[in-house]
Amino acid sequence: MSECKLSVDYDQYESGVKIVDLIEQLANNDERLQLESLIIGDWGGAYEHDSSEIVAALVRLKDRFPKLRSLFIGDMSYEECEVSWINQSNIGPILAAYPELTSLTIKGSTGLSLDPAQHDKLEELTIICGGLGKDVITSINEGSFNNLKKLELYLGVEEYGFDATLEDVLQLIEPGKFPQLTYLGLKDSEIQDEIAIAVANAPIVDQLHTLDLSMGTLTDEGAEALLNSEKIRKLKHLNLSYHYMSDEMMNRWKQSGLNVDISDQQDSDEDEDYRYPSLTE
Amino acid sequence: MKSMIIIGNAGNRRTTGLQTARTRLGLPPAFVLNYRDLLQGRVSLSSCVQSLAHSFDEPPLLRIDAPGEHFEVERELIALGAPDADNMDMDERWLLHNKNVVHPISVRMAKRLQEMKGTLYHPSQWFRGYCKLLSRLDMEAAQLWSSPRWMNAPEDIAAMFDKRHTYQILSSAGLPVPRRLAAPVDIPDYDTLQEVMVKERTYRLFIKLATGSGACGVIAYQLNPATGSESAVTTIGVENFLRRPPMFYNVKKLKSYKERPIIRQIINWLLGHGAHVEQWIPKASYEDRTFDIRQLVVAGQACHSIVRASRTPITNLHLDSDRMSLQDIGMPDPLQAAIRQCAEQTLSVFPRSTVAGIDILLSSGSNRPYVLDVNPFGDLLYHSHYEGHEPYEWEMKWASSCTTI
C-alpha cells in the first residue's frame, strides 16, 4: 500500500514550514496518484493551532488523491503534543469530500466535531483521545455509517473532555445502527466496568468478532459480567489489555478457553481514586 | 604509564568496576583517594602522593570519579560550600553561575543534616562545595607535577557538571543544542518564566537543575497557551510542613502535576537553585517509545552507546525505560555515524578531558542529532561492549597505552 506521512518537525517548525505547504507539495507530486494512505502527524504547535487548515486543504485538493482510502489526522506522540492538547476541528467535510475513503483515524478530541457524520463506504472509524465529548458521540450516533465494520472510540476521562453518560455511549450499540460492525472498541474509559456490564449481554455482540474494552479501568466487577455472558463466549477475540483485574480473575480468564488479551495488569490494590485509563497522561 | 589515582568513593560500583577492569588487563590496582577522607581533612592529594612516592616512577594517571551516592560526602560538600566555610583561594570563574547560593546554610547546620533517602538537600550549595574541592585538587596537582595527567581536568568537570555552563560552551562552539529559553539570570522565578514563555511563544520546555545528574531535578513542563493549563512531569516530590521549610525529594516513579500551586513551588525551587531552561525537542521514536542515546567518547573516539527508550518524556529514568542498542532499534548506519560524530565533536570542545558520556537525541521527523547533556562521569554503563571490552576496560586499555596525557 502506498502510504505517506506528513508532519512538521521541530526544525521545520522553527524555520516556518507549514503543514499546508507540505500537503500542496504532495498534491503536485506524481506520488499522489498512487497514494492510498495519508497520515498527518504533528502540524506544528498543535497545542495552539487546530486542524482546520488541514481539513480545508484536503477538501480543496480532494481530486488530487484519486486512490486515497485511509486517512489519519493527528498522528503525534506525547513528545510532540499531549493528546488532550491537540486542537482538532470539524472533520466532517473530509467525509463529504472523500466518498471512497474506507478508514479514518483521528487523534485528539479538543475542538473535534464530525458534521455531517455521514459516509456510505467508511469501514473503520477510530478516535484516539483522552476524553471524547458527548457531542461527537451524539454525532456518530445520529449519523449514518452504513458500511462501518470497525468502530474504535477512546472514551477517556471527564478531566479531558468525556462528558457523556453511560446511556449516551450505549446508544451507539443499539441494534441495527451499524449493520456491518464486527469490531467494537469502547475503550480507555473511566467507566469501563459499567460499559463492560452493559455490553456483556447486548444484542450487538452477536455480530462482532472482536470486542475491545482495553486501556480502561476494568476491574473484577466488569470482568465478572463478561465472563458470565454467553454472547461474549462466542467472540473470536476479546481485548481487555491494561486493566485492574485481580490475579484470581485473570486465572479465570486463562481457564475460560477464550481468546482474550489480559496483559498489562495494573496495581489493583490501589484506591479507586487512583485508577486511571491508560491514555490520560 | 601504569600507576593511577582515583578520587572517588571506595567500594562503590564505579571504583570497584574500574579496579576489576585494571586487574583483568594486568594493571596494578589504582590508589583510591576517598572523597570522605579528603573532605574530612585526613588526606590530601599531596599527602597521598608523598606517601606513595616510591611507587610512582612517573606522574600517575588522575581520575576524578562521581562523588554521588554517599551521604557523608554529600553532607561534607554542602558544608564546604557554606558561606562560613574556610575560604581558600579559588578561581571564581569556576562558580560562574553559582556566586550566590539561595538560602545558604552554615557549616554547623550542614554537618547536622540527617540522611533521608531521596532528599534533595541543597543542590546549589553542594555544587559550590564541589567546585571548591575541584579547584583545590587542581591547584595541588599543579604544584605536584608540571603537567598533571588528568583523565578529565577538574575545570572541565565543573563546566560539564553545570548545564548552564555546558550550554554556553557547546553553543558557542556551534554544536547542536536545544534552544535555550533565556539566560538563567532572566528567569529568576515561575512568574517570569511564564512571561518569557509567552513572549517567546515557547510552551514546551525542559527545566533542568543546572547541577543535577541523570533524571534528578528535571521537569518536562508544558503550558497550554489556549487553555492556560499546565503539565509538569518530573521526579521531584515536595512535602510541605507547618513549622519548617518544605522538603524536596527525588522519587523513583515519575509524577505528573497539573495543579499550578505545586508546579509553581517546584519550579521556583529549581530556578532558585539554578536551572537551565531549554526547548523540548520531540525525540524520535522506536515503536511506541521515544528514545535518546548515551554515547560514550574516550580519547576522542566514540565507543560504547546505549539507547534509552521510554514512554515518558524523561528517558534517563531507570524505572520506566528500556536499555537497548542502536542495532536493536535498527538505527541506519549513517545516523549512527552522525551520532558518533556529534558526540566526538562535543568532547573535543573540552580539550583537557578524555572521557564523557554524551546524551544525544534525534529530533522526531528529521532525525537531527542534538546534544542534551555532557556527563563527566557518564561511563558507568552496564552490559555494554565495544570491540569486546566493557567501558572501564576500554578506558584503561587506552590509558595504559597512551603517552599523551
Q: Do residues B167 and B276 touch, judged by C-beta distance below 8 A?
A: yes
Please tell me the predicted confidence (pLDDT) of residue B95: 66
Same domain, B9 and B110: yes
Residue B164 lies in a domain: no
Same domain, B292 and B389: yes
Same domain, B39 and B91: yes
What angle in degrees, to the nearest 10, is found between the helix axes of B13-24 and B391-401? 60
Same domain, B265 and B293: no
pLDDT(B319) > 70: no
Please tell me the predicted confidence (pLDDT) of residue B316: 79
Please tell me the predicted confidence (pLDDT) of residue B98: 64
Inter-chain CB proximity A82 and B364 less than 8 Å:
no
Instruction: Tell me how far apart the alpha carbons of residues A49 and A28 are, in angstroms, rounded to a whole number.
Output: 25
Angle at Cα B130 formed by Cα B126 and Cα B136, nearest 5°? 150
Place of cell 553545570: B162
Place of cell 554529600: B74
B319 touches A: beta carbon within 8 Å = no
Partners of B61 in beta bridges: B4, B149
> Each residue of B12-36: pLDDT tens digit?
999 999 999 999 999 999 999 999 9
Same domain, B340 and B359: yes
Same domain, B266 and B297: no
Q: Do residues A206 and A184 touch, judged by C-beta distance below 8 A?
A: no
Please tell me the predicted confidence (pLDDT) of residue B58: 82
> Each residue of B229-249: pLDDT tens digit?
999 999 999 999 988 889 999
Domain carrying residue B203:
184-279
Partners of B230 in beta bridges: B223
Same domain, B54 and B124: yes
Report the gap between the CA of A258 and the closest CA in chain B (Å). 27
Mean pLDDT of B374-399: 94
| 3-class SS of residue B7 | strand
Inter-chain CB proximity A11 and B368 less than 8 Å:
yes
- In whole angstroms, how far apart are CA B308 and each of A103, A140, B39, B138, B345? 34, 41, 35, 34, 21
Alpha-carbon B347 to chain mean position: 14
Query: What's the structural domain count of chain B?
Result: 3
Instruction: Tell me how far apart the alpha carbons of residues B279 and A77 are, in angstroms, rounded to a whole number.
Output: 17
pLDDT(B403) > 60: no
**Among B236, B264, B279, which residue terminates a domain?**
B279
A78 touches B: beta carbon within 8 Å = yes
pLDDT(B195) > 70: yes
Please tell me the predicted confidence (pLDDT) of residue B404: 54
pLDDT(B175) > 90: yes
**Among B215, B248, B279, which residue terminates a domain?**
B279
Q: Which of A119, A105, A86, A118 is nearest to A154 (CA)?
A: A105
**Among B218, B252, B279, which residue terminates a domain?**
B279
Instruction: Tell me how far apart the alpha carbons of residues A13 and B264 are, in angstroms, rounded to a whole number.
Output: 28
Inter-chain CB proximity A281 and B231 less than 8 Å:
yes
DSSP H or E run through B18: helix B13-24
Place of cell 532572566: B186
Q: Do residues B8 and B34 touch, judged by C-beta distance below 8 A?
A: yes
Residue B172 lies in a domain: no
For B142-159, b/e burial (b = at least 16 CB within 10 A) is eebbeebbbbbbbbbbbb
Contacts of B197 in chain A (CB under 8 A): none
Please tell me the predicted confidence (pLDDT) of residue A273: 63
pLDDT(B325) > 70: yes
Q: Which of A79, A82, A281 is opposite residue B364, by nearest beta carbon?
A: A79
Q: Do residues A20 and A58 touch, judged by C-beta distance below 8 A?
A: no
Residues 6+ apart with CB under 8 A from A255: none
Mean pLDDT of B301-311: 95
Q: Which of B179, B231, B290 is opposite residue A79, by nearest beta carbon?
A: B290
Is beta strand B247-257 parallel, antiparallel or unpaired with respect to A124-128? unpaired
Please tell me the predicted confidence (pLDDT) of residue A11: 84
Same domain, B97 and B39: yes
Residue B168 lies in a domain: no
Q: What is the ipTM of this complex?
A: 0.76
Inter-chain CB proximity B283 and A79 less than 8 Å:
yes
Please tell me the predicted confidence (pLDDT) of residue B101: 78
pLDDT(B307) > 60: yes
Residue B205 lies in a domain: yes
Q: Which of B8, B273, B9 is nearest to B120 (CA)?
A: B273
> Each residue of B66-124: pLDDT tens digit?
998 899 999 999 999 998 987 666 666 666 666 667 889 999 999 999 999 889 999 99
Alpha-carbon A277 to chain mean position: 14
Same domain, B296 and B382: yes
Same domain, B74 and B196: no
Instruction: Tell me how far apart the alpha carbons of residues A73 and A63 are, in angstroms, rounded to a whole number.
Output: 19
Contacts of A82 in chain B (CB under 8 A): 222, 231
- In whole angstroms, how far apart are CA A237 and each of A201, A232, A241, B75, B150? 16, 9, 12, 58, 63
Same domain, B293 and B274: no
Residuewise pLDDT in 10s, chain A (281 residues): 799 999 998 889 888 999 999 999 999 999 999 999 999 999 998 998 999 999 999 999 999 999 999 999 999 988 889 899 999 999 999 999 999 999 999 999 999 999 999 999 999 999 999 999 999 999 999 999 999 999 999 999 998 999 999 999 999 999 899 999 999 999 999 999 999 999 999 999 999 999 999 999 999 999 999 999 999 999 999 999 999 999 999 999 999 999 999 999 998 665 666 788 888 75
Residue B160 lies in a domain: no
A7 touches B: beta carbon within 8 Å = yes
Starting at the earlier edge strand, list the strands of the sheet with A103-107: A3-6, A37-40, A70-73, A103-107, A124-128, A150-156, A183-189, A210-212, A237-239, A260-261
Residue B161 lies in a domain: no
Same domain, B209 and B262: yes
Q: Do residues A238 and A226 touch, judged by C-beta distance below 8 A?
A: yes
- Half-sphere exposure at residue B56, Cβ-oriented, CA atoms within 13 angstroms: 19
Inter-chain CB proximity B256 and A77 less than 8 Å:
no
Largest Cα span, chain B: 71
Residue B326 lies in a domain: yes
A80 touches B: beta carbon within 8 Å = yes
Q: Do residues B329 and A94 touch, judged by C-beta distance below 8 A?
A: no
